[in-house]
Amino acid sequence: MDPILFARGLVLGFAIAAVVGPISLLTIRRTLAHGRSYGLATGLGVALADATYGGIAAFGLTAVTSILVGGRLVLRLVGGVFLLVLASRTMTSRPDVVAVADERPGLAGAFVSIFGLTMTNPMTIISFAAIFAGLGVVGRGGVDAALLTLGVFCGSASWWLILTTVVSALRTRVTVRALTWVNRVSGVILFIFAMISIATAFGR
């Protein structure tokens, strides 16, 4: 057992989660609209997806990896369509007030929906597999792989905890007009990400 692997997984999970993309955008918007708890539930869904892919790579589950990578175009298409739906809802949203805690949707729904969306990007597993191979733990399984996977989850979760806490602290300063523009801009960006994902799926 090598405790250093947990620390390495922690750093890796934090770094991967901190990459700006549609997931980060959705988490920020959800925190602004529905509060820190909802945003954090979203972030934890992402952290679990990261840890799932990390675990597949760390434990050397090559059959699962092959299936996911082989179906990456279908998954990209599914993810792109989902992003299109989110983009449409976001752009057409007209908030009268910043939502209070008891107006937000269910936390379980926030967790599950973002987990599913994050899992539509199987190329993440390639990144984990390459890095874990450098650490010499791919395929070894056991405690070392478990520590690495746990580190990835904790690192990713730490990023989302920090991000949602900061965004939540600024939430009370967000006016209705500002939130409306956040929705419009977020919707446009999500639409762009969606079209890229769909174009990639049909491009091959």
204 residues of the chain, pLDDT tens digit each: 667 888 888 988 888 888 777 888 888 888 888 888 999 999 999 999 989 888 887 776 655 556 555 656 766 777 677 777 777 766 766 655 444 444 456 889 889 988 988 887 766 666 677 666 666 655 556 787 888 889 999 999 999 999 999 999 888 776 666 667 666 777 787 787 778 767 776 765
Alpha carbon 198 to its chain's center: 18
Separation CA 10–CA 7 (nearest Å): 5
Cβ pair 125, 69 in contact under 8 A: yes
C-alpha dihedral (187, 191, 193, 195), degrees to nearest 10: 180
- Per-residue model confidence (pLDDT) at position 175: 65
Separation CA 91–CA 46 (nearest Å): 23
Cβ pair 72, 122 in contact under 8 A: yes
Burial-class residue 181 by CB neighbours within 10 Å (0-12, 13-18, 19+): exposed
| Cβ count within 10 A of residue 107 | 16
- Per-residue model confidence (pLDDT) at position 53: 84
